[in-house]
Structure 1
Amino acid sequence: MVTEDDVRRLALALPETVEKTMYGTPAFYVRGKWFARVREEGDVLVLPVGSEEEKAGLIAAEPAAFFTTPHYDGSATVLVRFGAVDAGEMGELLAEAWRLRAPRRLAAGFDA
């Protein structure tokens, strides 16, 4: 099971990532753009994804891990339950969200 400390460690390992508070909970930013936020429940992470289709695909494929709420309808944002993914998968999810928000050159350097 992934913990908030695991999320923090994985997110902060990504280049130029900083932690700030968003809506009273920990959030992670790359050059001023958020790419992950711990929800108020403390065991759910909010992540941007590439499209609403990708979001729907994640939810359909693994509904125990991924879900949404009406607040995020119409948004390419998915919610992830900490207890339903392992650290490896969470790291991949965070890296993908980071790539979506990082400047192109920074992301290219990371991927090189």
Structure 2
Amino acid sequence: METDPLLERVRAACLALPEVVERMSHGTPCWFVRGKKTFVMFADHTHGDPHVAIWAAAPPGAAAQLIDDEPARFFRPPYVGGRGWLGLRLDLDGEDALDDDELRGIVVEAYRHVAPKRLSALL
């Protein structure tokens, strides 16, 4: 898969949420709630990562569980993994490929994890 269509899928999922802003941070597109709190980063071979992926905020314990259950798809991203963030490979094909509903679900959970309650309630 090419990177640009993957980025567009992530962008569409993130920008569909209330008060989300996209800007570059650490050399990669990132999405912020109200321009302040990052909830998703697009990782195109970022910081030595061999994959095209997203790094997403996750509720406590969720990342560890997903990584244990599906290590081919999910991983602990550098820098933010220690804070419970989840890495999700976007460059897989076949039955491991991420569908749009699953991508939206992970993006929404990341948003809910960092957004103020008033914004989360809008979902």
TM-score normalised by L of structure 1: 0.87
Q: In structure 1, how many angstroms separate the alpha carbons of the residues matched to 2:84 and 2:69?
A: 16
- The answer to whether structure 1 residue 107 and structure 2 residue 120 are counterparts is yes
SS of residue in 1 equivalent to 2:17: coil
Shift of 1:70: 5.3
Shift of 1:26: 0.3
User: Which of 20, 24, 32 in structure 2 is aligned with 1:21?
Assistant: 24
Partner of 1:37: 41
SS of residue in 2 equivalent to 1:46: strand
User: Which of 95, 98, 105 in structure 2 is aligned with 1:92?
Assistant: 105
CA displacement, residues 24-45 of structure 1 (integer Å, 9 cap, x when unaligned)? 1100011111100012417110
Shift of 1:71: 3.5
SS of residue in 2 equivalent to 1:19: strand
User: Which of 74, 78, 81 in structure 2 is aligned with 1:66?
Assistant: 74
Which contiguous aligned blocks of 4+ residues in structure 1 show a shift greater than 6 angstroms? none
User: Which of 77, 89, 104 in structure 2 is aligned with 1:81?
Assistant: 89
Partner of 1:47: 56
SS of residue in 1 equivalent to 2:32: strand
CA displacement, residues 40-90 of structure 1 (integer Å, 9 cap, x when unaligned)? 417110111111x22110001111210114544532111100133111100
- Provide the aligned C-alpha RMSD in A: 1.8
User: Closer, same or farther in 2 for the Cα pair 1:23/1:109, shift >3 Å?
Assistant: same
TM-score normalised by L of structure 2: 0.80
Q: In structure 2, how many angstroms separate the alpha carbons of the residues matched to 1:11 and 1:59?
A: 22
Identity %: 36
Comparing 98-107 with 61-70, which one deviates more in the overlay?
A: 61-70
The one-letter code sitting in structure 2 at the alignment partner of 1:47 is A
Aligned length: 109
- Structure 1's unaligned 5+ residue stretches are none
Q: In structure 2, how many angstroms separate the alpha carbons of the residues matched to 1:37 and 1:57?
A: 20
